[in-house]
Amino acid sequence: MAKGLDVGTMNIICAEKGKGDSIAFAQQRNAFLEMEAGDLAQNMLDSAKILYTQKGDTINVLGEDAFKFSNVFNKGIRRPMKQGIISPDEKESIPMIKLIIERVIGQPEKDGEIAYISVPAAPVDSKVNVLYHSKTVEALARKLGYETSLIDEGLAVVFSELGDFNFTGIGISVGAGMTNITVAYLATPIVSFSITRGGDWIDEQVSSATGVAIERITSIKETDFSFDSDYEIGSVQGALALYYDALITYIIGNLKKKLSEVAPPDAEFPIAIAGGSSRAKGFMEMFETRISEASLPINISKVKKNKYTLSDSKDPIYSIARGCLIAALTREDAESVEEVEEKATKAEKKAAAV
Amino acid sequence: MESKLRYYFGSMVFLSGLILSISAIGFAIMVHLRRTSDPSEIITTYGLLGVGLSFILLGINLMISQRRPYGVYSNWVMIFGFLSSIFGVIFFSTIFSDAWVYPNVTYVSFAYASGICLLSGNAFGNAVLRLIEERSRQLLETDPIDLYTEEDIEKEVERTLNESLSDNTRFSSFNMGIKEDTTNFVHGKALKEMAQTKIEVQDSIREVECLQSTISGKVKVDDYGIDLTTKMLSATMKQSAEIENRKLSNKIKNKIDFIRR
């Protein structure tokens, strides 16, 4: 069965078809925390069923638990990815990403199983090249036995969210390290680019403005922040609202600039927003307001809200993995149809020869 | 009249008109024409000027006149306009100055003005048509549309749409090989024994079918009118293809093609 893999700066998520009409998502935080090894620590981690690896005198706690331990011990977590790509500053980045990818995607049911992997588009505001990251991630999944293909994060959002609009519209993935934007017309990308600002940029700016640790800012952003509320001057939430607004303005500014370089078709373009950093309550409404003020050179019909619901909140974090899965399943279907047609042609030829 | 001959004739008429008009102006200067001048001097000056202007416009009309279907109406307008203006001039020369009173003045003015308007309007219309025709001809000459068959265009569209999924154009085709794992990590108990937890969300993923339709060019629009028209068009095209195949000449052509193959 085909799979979709979203390799994000903050989360690595795999989507596959579940039982019946369902999708199964496997998710791990793309982070780890280094601790000192010892029998006591190991026993504690084993009994608490915490994912970790040991190398010499150090233990690396993986995934979500790394964040929890980081908050408890007030210790900085390590991130294998930075600004949407494999971090060049982190020496353990590739082994850690490999471990997490293996964990979420698992072994293929058959050799050559199709997997679509999301990768960032080339950034417009940085000299960073995404090719090394894309090829490394692809090679890691290929090593497991998957037949891999790469897809832009923005296009994955279009596939996931804009099916009702014949895959015409703007897919925006506001991730932790990057924001990816793709303008597509009938599933074909017209403009695809990324900007090296996302949730992490907000955290860094708020942290340097307020003096609170980045991990704490991330935690507040994810659990205790909403655009709809009023916050005191000097509060972390107030600074978060300010930098979120700056990020939205920056995204729209770059989109406008990129759109002015092309001649998009005369059609209505809805906007779909996904990614973990768009989870904040009121983000969509804020984006809708800013986009209506921007006067883009294309006709924006609406800002589409995400369809997934986990507990009470709409969760746009799975959109990219879902888009990758849609692309993978489409290719799988197309290949199976081709196989059937090929067999039928061969049978016809045999019958004609007889 | 042949168009080339007509063009030269038109240019001659235009030149005559220009000479007549210049002569009129020269004559007016020579005789120091004013309100109290002799009527014969006024008639000569304005007669020559009137006829000259009509000839100029007639010449332009002849040079840029259109062929059928516009040409038929254009010629009638040109003739009527010229006759009307000449009538105006002749009428002016017969009645001036004894009967140069209302309503004769109105008749002269109306006849001459309508003639001039018809001639100039006709010339303008013909010039615009000629410009449009010229532009279309340029486009036909420069546009290499006839170099591509419908099949080529369909293939190109299909290729572009397929590439949007495969992305071979933007991603390097180089595949990085990875050696066997040499890192000496010891996996923790949970990492070895516990299966990855998964969240299941109810979702029929009907986008897969839609995406297949979109990339193959078969877009579902949920519009009864379009569906019906498409079916009717398809049936008509099928029918006309069958009729074409039934024609004897086509049958022979098909036969030859088959033998060639």
Helix (H) or strand (E) holding A96: helix A93-105
Distance from CA of A201 to the nearest CA of B (A): 27
Distance from CA of B117 to the nearest CA of A (A): 43
Domains and their CATH numbers in chain A:
3-30+79-353 (3.30.420.40)
Question: For B159-181, how does the pLDDT look when each residue is reduced to its tens digit (9 = 90+)?
Answer: 665 565 555 455 566 666 666 66
- Residue B70: predicted pLDDT: 61
Chain B residues whose CB is inside 8 A of the A22 CB are 200-203
Angle at CA of residue B232, ends B226 and B234, nearest 5°: 100
pLDDT in tens, A174-193: 998 899 999 998 888 988 99
Task: Give first-to-last CA distance, chain A, whole Å.
Answer: 37
Would you call A62 an interface residue with chain B, using a CB distance cutoff of 8 Å?
Answer: yes
CB environment B89-104: b (16+ within 10 A), e (fewer)? bebbbebbeeeeeeeb
* CB-based contact B198 A62, cutoff 8 Å: no
User: Looking at A232-295, which runs of residues are DSSP E strands?
Assistant: 268-274
The per-residue pLDDT for A158 is: 93
Boundaries of every domain in chain B: 3-144, 224-261
The model's pTM: 0.65
Name the closest residue on chain A to residue B197, using Cα atoms.
A26
- Each residue's pLDDT tens digit, A23-42: 999 999 999 998 888 888 88
Torsion of Cα atoms, B33 then B36 then B37 then B42, to 10° = 80
- Alpha-carbon gap, residue A115 to A328, rounded angstroms: 6
Q: Is B83 on the interface with A (CB under 8 A)?
A: no
The band of B110, judged by pLDDT with boundaries at 50, 70 and 90, is very high
* Three-state secondary structure call for residue A27: strand
Tokens 């019958």 correspond to what residue?
A: A351
Nearest residue of B to residue A133, measured between CA atoms: B176
A110 and chain B in contact, CB less than 8 A: no
Read off the pLDDT of residues A190-243 as tens digits, 9 standing for 90 and up. 889 999 999 999 999 999 999 888 878 888 888 888 887 777 777 888 899 999
> Options 2.40.50, 1.20.120, 2.40.10, 2.60.40; which CATH number does B3-144 get?
1.20.120
- Among residues 312-331 of chain A, which lie with CB inside 8 Å of chain B? 318, 322, 325-327, 329-331
CB contact under 8 A, A151 and B167: yes
Specify whether the backbone of A113 is left (phi greater than 0), alpha (psi in -120 to 50) or beta. Answer: beta
B149 touches chain A (CB under 8 A): no
E strands, A204-294, in order: 268-274
The minimum CA-CA distance between A138 and chain B, rounded to whole Å, is: 8
ipTM over 0.85: no
Task: Inform me whether the C-beta atom of residue A18 falls under 8 Å from chain B C-beta atoms.
Answer: yes
Question: How far, in Å, CA of B170 to CA of A339, rounded?
Answer: 27
Token output for A21? 């009409």
Over residues A276-315, the pLDDT tens digits come to 888 888 888 889 889 888 888 888 888 876 655 544 334 6
**B48, B24 in Cβ contact below 8 A?**
yes
User: Model confidence over B125-162: pLDDT tens digits?
Assistant: 888 888 888 777 777 666 555 566 777 776 776 666 55
Report d(CA A183, CA A36) in Å as an integer: 47
d(CA B213, CA A86): 36
